[in-house]
């Protein structure tokens, strides 16, 4: 569905100073996949998506999207993709039904078909009570659902969502996702989304592409990324941390040991087994253990392992 | 070509829908010209009304056609702000990802400018008739058509300006205001240039608005003079240049 080869975008800012927003990205996405592109703000996610949706042309490299080359046949690509951008797609002075009707006309539906399609989507995305409402009078969550509806008018085989749930409260986010996943199931759509919400990429996507400084630095299922790149974390409390860390070092796959006060933290490949082993070893050595806690890694741990930086901190800094 | 016509119609219909749903928005676009008509008109009558030679038979006959041009000037030169808003919200970006032809995105918007403009002009003519304004029917119709063509050009230029300053949106009003006041004063719209210094009359020759104003005055009086022809030249040139500049800007508006 998407094939890119060495896709690159440079921007010139100020006096000939080049910003390498996307550097040589090569990815392949097959029909039916649900892929999250994850990365900190400024990583190049949006630039990548703007190239794939034909909004901007790449500096170099190539890409085929929905069967057509983005550089030579942008019009054919546009016909086959749906796009929900970061902003609000619906015009603020327009009414909900009018905007969906116009979108239908744009994709070549006749009057009746455009009207029927608008009604279907209003139904599917729970916008029934808002049919004749002006877009500027809608709440953030309602607008976002309308944006998704606009992206789906022509039942595209491929849907792009650029930070679909940014700015929504948890309830609205869950609600939006429910709609997206149901529609995807019904139409067998391929979905590509960008996000900086770790949990969203983790729970919703079947495949996570991590982008940093314009490059793809990891690409796999969330589970595989976490197991391969981060590993479990174990936190153990003890008044004798020093002896405990000596014992912990002997555990299989143990690394990144760090102690503070009466607490020892380390990474292991399999936390529950390692915890049991460590408890036995501690009892044999006469070291008292006050608490044991194991954590499955998050995608933030994966990002931390890959870059030495925390994604959570970077995102929250920007949102301040 | 047929795609362009089809897409232009879709864009125009979309632009007109809020106007149709809320026709009173047309009235709001008339506030400034009505203020001039109500507050400046009587002053004009008071100070120049006696000098029949300067203004012709009736002051209203001289002033109302100019106010129609002013409506076009204020309304269509501000319309870029609507596009600027759609840049900010993301609505324009959504359009750019659809198969709509890029030129249609501009032409449809520019053609739409005719509709509120014609509505406003008709209202002003109707309101002023009881005060002694007597438009020549045939001339008035041609005058409205001339205004529509000029409005398409000015609207296109306003959209082009909006696209050019989309990353520093405050610039839009700064540029728009800086341009429309000299254009307006040099056109002889508010006060006859005949009473001003000669350099102003020379400068007015480079103001397309001046030709449009003269043509409207002639048309509404039913005079078929060379002023009418020059007015059409000015309006058609403005439309051609506006559309060319606007389409170029629109095609590049995604970057």
Bridge pairing between strands A2-13 and A17-25: antiparallel
Helix (H, G, I), strand (E, B) or coil at A136: helix
Q: How high is the pLDDT of residue B57?
A: 59
Interface test with B, best of A52, A76, A102, A133 (most B CBs within 10 A): A102
CB B65 within 8 Å of CB B231: no
Chain A hits for B95, CB-CB cut-off 8 Å, are: 106
The domain of B120 spans: 2-251
**pLDDT higher than 60, residue B82:** yes
Count of alpha carbons within 13 angstroms of residue A314, beta-carbon side: 18
Bridge pairing between strands A34-38 and A68-69: unpaired
Alpha-carbon distance of A176 to A192, in angstroms, equals: 15
Alpha-carbon distance of B155 to A148, in angstroms, equals: 31
Chain A residues with CB under 8 Å of a chain B CB are 50, 53-56, 75, 78-79, 81, 83, 85-95, 98, 102-103, 105-107, 147, 150
Confidence of residue A320 (pLDDT cuts 50, 70, 90): very low
Nearest CA in chain B to A99: B14
Beta strands in B68-212 (DSSP E): none
Q: What would the pLDDT profile of A246-297 be if each residue is shown by its tens digit?
A: 888 888 778 788 888 888 888 887 888 888 888 888 888 888 888 888 888 8
Count of CB atoms situated within 10 Å of the CB of B132: 10
Question: Closest to A95 (Cβ–Cβ): which among B21, B89, B255?
Answer: B21
**pLDDT higher than 60, residue B215:** yes
Nearest CA in chain A to B87: A87
Helix (H, G, I), strand (E, B) or coil at A197: coil
Count of alpha carbons within 13 angstroms of residue B27, beta-carbon side: 4
- Token pair recorded at residue B70: 């002013």
Question: Closest to B89 (Cβ–Cβ): which among A54, A92, A150?
Answer: A92
Q: How high is the pLDDT of residue A82?
A: 92
Q: What would the pLDDT profile of A190-236 be if each residue is shown by its tens digit?
A: 999 998 788 888 888 889 998 988 899 888 888 888 877 777 888 88
Nearest 10 degrees: Cα torsion B118, B124, B126, B127: 160
Chain B residues with CB under 8 Å of a chain A CB are 7, 10, 13-14, 17-18, 21, 82, 85-86, 88-91, 93-100, 254-255
Chain B hits for A107, CB-CB cut-off 8 Å, are: 98-99
Chain B hits for A86, CB-CB cut-off 8 Å, are: 90
Q: How high is the pLDDT of residue B56?
A: 55
Q: What would the pLDDT profile of A83-115 be if each residue is shown by its tens digit?
A: 998 888 899 989 999 999 999 999 999 999 999
Confidence of residue A178 (pLDDT cuts 50, 70, 90): confident
Q: Does the distance separating the beta carbons of A95 and B17 come in below 8 Å? A: yes
For residue A266, what are the β-bridge partners?
A: A234
Q: How high is the pLDDT of residue A296?
A: 83
Q: How large is the average pLDDT for residues A12-30?
A: 85
Distance from CA of B163 to the nearest CA of A (A): 15
**pLDDT higher than 90, residue A302:** no
Nearest 10 degrees: Cα torsion B40, B46, B48, B51: 150
Question: Closest to A94 (Cβ–Cβ): which among B18, B96, B98?
Answer: B18
Confidence of residue B49 (pLDDT cuts 50, 70, 90): low
The contacts found for A257-266 with CB under 8 angstroms, 24 or more apart, are: A262/A237, A262/A238, A262/A290, A263/A235, A263/A236, A263/A237, A264/A235, A264/A236, A264/A237, A264/A238, A265/A233, A265/A234, A265/A235, A265/A236, A266/A233, A266/A234
Q: What is the DSSP letter of A2?
A: E
Distance from the Cα of residue A297 to its chain's centroid: 17
Lowest mean pLDDT among A42-51, A264-273, B145-154: A264-273
Q: How high is the pLDDT of residue A319?
A: 40
Q: How high is the pLDDT of residue B54?
A: 54
Alpha-carbon distance of A56 to A72, in angstroms, equals: 13
Nearest Cα to Cα of residue A291 among A239, A222, A227: A239
Q: How high is the pLDDT of residue B50?
A: 57
Distances (CA, A) of A195 to A39, A86, B103: 7, 10, 33
For chain B, first and last CA: distance in Å?
A: 25
Q: How high is the pLDDT of residue B120?
A: 85
Q: What percent of chain A has pLDDT over 90?
A: 27
Chain B hits for A54, CB-CB cut-off 8 Å, are: 97
Q: Which residues of A58-92 are buried (b: 16+ CB within 10 A; e: fewer)?
A: bbebebbbbebebeeebebbbbbbbbbbbbbbbbb
Instruction: Give the H/E segment covering residue A157.
Output: none
DSSP A207-273: EEEEEETTEEEEEE-HHHHIIIII-EEEEEE-S-HHHHHHHHHTSTT-EEEEEETTEEEEEES-HHH
Confidence of residue B27 (pLDDT cuts 50, 70, 90): confident
Which is more confident, B45 or A7?
A: A7
Q: What angle do CA B183, B185, B190 make, to 5 degrees?
A: 130
Lowest mean pLDDT among A162-171, B50-59, B150-159, B182-191: B50-59
Alpha-carbon distance of A78 to A65, in angstroms, equals: 9
Q: Does the distance separating the beta carbons of A107 and B98 come in below 8 Å? A: yes
Q: What percent of chain B has pLDDT over 70?
A: 95
Q: How high is the pLDDT of residue B5?
A: 92
Q: What angle do CA B63, B67, B69 make, to 5 degrees?
A: 120
Q: How high is the pLDDT of residue A314?
A: 56
Q: Total structural domains in chain B?
A: 1
Q: Does the distance separating the beta carbons of B17 and A94 come in below 8 Å? A: yes
CB A239 within 8 Å of CB A290: yes
Instruction: Give the H/E segment covering residue A3.
Output: strand A2-13
A vs B: CB pairs below 8 A: 71
Chain B hits for A50, CB-CB cut-off 8 Å, are: 254
Q: How large is the average pLDDT for residues B6-32?
A: 85
**pLDDT higher than 60, residue A315:** no
**pLDDT higher than 70, residue A318:** no
Count of alpha carbons within 13 angstroms of residue B210, beta-carbon side: 18
**Range of A243-247, A255-259, B16-20 with top mean pLDDT:** B16-20
DSSP A263-318: EEEEEES-HHHHHHHHHHHHHHHT----EEEEE---HHHHHHHHHSS-HHHHHHHH
Q: How high is the pLDDT of residue B9?
A: 93
Q: How large is the average pLDDT for residues B113-120?
A: 84
Distance from CA of B174 to the nearest CA of A (A): 23
Helix (H, G, I), strand (E, B) or coil at A6: strand
For residue A294, what are the β-bridge partners?
A: A234
Lowest mean pLDDT among A96-100, B126-130, B207-211, B235-239: B126-130
Count of CB atoms situated within 10 Å of the CB of A53: 25
Q: Does the distance separating the beta carbons of B17 and A102 come in below 8 Å? A: yes
Q: Give the mean pLDDT of chain A.
A: 86
Q: How high is the pLDDT of residue B51?
A: 57
Residues with Cβ within 8 Å of A229's Cβ and at least 6 positions away in sequence, in order, are A218, A302, A305, A306
Distance from CA of A14 to the nearest CA of B (A): 14
Q: How high is the pLDDT of residue A158?
A: 93
Alpha-carbon distance of B197 to A191, in angstroms, equals: 68
**pLDDT higher than 80, residue B1:** no
Residues with Cβ within 8 Å of B113's Cβ and at least 6 positions away in sequence, in order, are B75, B76, B79, B151, B152, B154, B155
Lowest mean pLDDT among A138-142, B21-25, B223-227: B21-25
Confidence of residue B123 (pLDDT cuts 50, 70, 90): confident
CB B153 within 8 Å of CB B238: yes
Q: How large is the average pLDDT for residues A40-50?
A: 88
Nearest Cα to Cα of residue A194 among A43, A9, A33: A43
**Number of helical H runs and strand E runs in chain A:** 12, 15
Q: How high is the pLDDT of residue B211?
A: 94
Name the percent of chain A in helix, strand, coil, to the closest 5. Answer: 40, 30, 30
Domains of chain A, each with CATH number or no CATH:
2-226 (3.40.50.300), 232-296 (3.30.70.100)
């Amino acid at each position: 569905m998407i094939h890119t080869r060495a896709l690159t975008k440079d921007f010139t800012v100020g006096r000939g100073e080049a910003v390498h927003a996307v550097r040589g990205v090569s990815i392949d996405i097959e029909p039916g996949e649900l892929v999250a592109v994850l990365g900190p703000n400024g990583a190049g996610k949006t630039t990548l998506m703007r190239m794939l949706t034909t909004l901007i042309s790449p500096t170099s490299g190539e890409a085929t999207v929905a069967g057509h080359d983005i550089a030579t046949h942008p019009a054919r690509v546009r016909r086959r993709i749906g796009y929900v951008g970061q902003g609000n797609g619906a015009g603020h002075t327009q009414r909900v039904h009018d905007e969906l009707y116009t979108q239908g006309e744009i994709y070549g539906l006749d009057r009746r078909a455009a009207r029927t399609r608008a009604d279907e989507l209003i139904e599917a995305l729970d916008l029934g009570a808002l049919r004749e409402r002006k877009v500027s009078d809608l709440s953030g969550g309602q607008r976002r659902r309308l944006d998704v509806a606009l992206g789906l008018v022509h039942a595209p085989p491929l849907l792009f969502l650029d930070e679909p749930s940014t700015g929504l409260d948890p309830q609205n986010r869950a609600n939006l996702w429910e709609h997206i996943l149901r529609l995807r199931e019904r139409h067998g759509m391929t979905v590509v989304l960008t996000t900086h919400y770790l949990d969203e990429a983790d729970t919703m996507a079947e495949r996570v592409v991590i982008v940093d400084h314009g490059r793809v630095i990891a690409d796999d299922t969330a589970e595989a990324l976490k197991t391969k790149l981060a590993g479990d974390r174990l936190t153990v409390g003890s008044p004798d941390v020093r002896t405990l860390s000596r014992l912990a070092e002997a555990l299989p796959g143990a690394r990144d040991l760090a102690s503070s006060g009466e607490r020892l933290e380390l990474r292991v490949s399999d936390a529950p087994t390692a915890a049991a082993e460590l408890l036995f070893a501690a009892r044999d050595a006469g070291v008292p253990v006050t608490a044991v806690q194991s954590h499955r890694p998050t995608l933030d741990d994966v990002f931390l392992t890959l870059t030495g930086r925390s994604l959570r901190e970077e995102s929250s800094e920007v949102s301040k | 070509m047929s795609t362009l016509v089809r897409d232009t119609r879709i864009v125009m219909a979309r632009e007109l829908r809020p106007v149709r749903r809320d026709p009173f928005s047309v009235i709001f676009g008339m506030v400034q010209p009505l203020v001039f008509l109500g507050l400046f008109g009587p002053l004009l009558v008071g100070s120049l009304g006696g000098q029949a030679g300067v203004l012709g038979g009736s002051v209203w006959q001289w002033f109302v056609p100019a106010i129609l041009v002013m409506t076009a000037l204020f309304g269509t030169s501000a319309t870029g702000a609507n596009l600027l808003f759609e840049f900010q919200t993301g609505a324009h970006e959504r359009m750019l990802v659809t198969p709509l032809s890029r030129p249609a995105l501009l032409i449809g918007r520019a053609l739409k400018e005719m509709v509120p403009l014609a509505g406003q002009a008709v209202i002003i003519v109707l309101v002023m008739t009881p005060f002694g304004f007597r438009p020549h029917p045939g001339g008035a119709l041609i005058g409205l058509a001339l205004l529509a063509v000029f409005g398409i050009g000015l609207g296109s230029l306003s959209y082009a300006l909006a696209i050019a300053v989309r990353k520093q949106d405050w610039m839009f009003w700064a540029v728009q205001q800086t341009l429309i006041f000299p254009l307006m004063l040099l056109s002889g719209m508010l006060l006859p240039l005949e009473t001003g210094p000669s350099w102003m009359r020379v400068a007015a020759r480079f103001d397309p608005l001046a030709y449009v104003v003269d043509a409207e005055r002639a048309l509404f009086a039913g005079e078929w003079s060379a002023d009418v022809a020059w007015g059409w030249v000015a309006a058609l040139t403005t439309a051609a240049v506006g559309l060319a500049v606007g389409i170029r800007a629109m095609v590049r508006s995604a970057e």
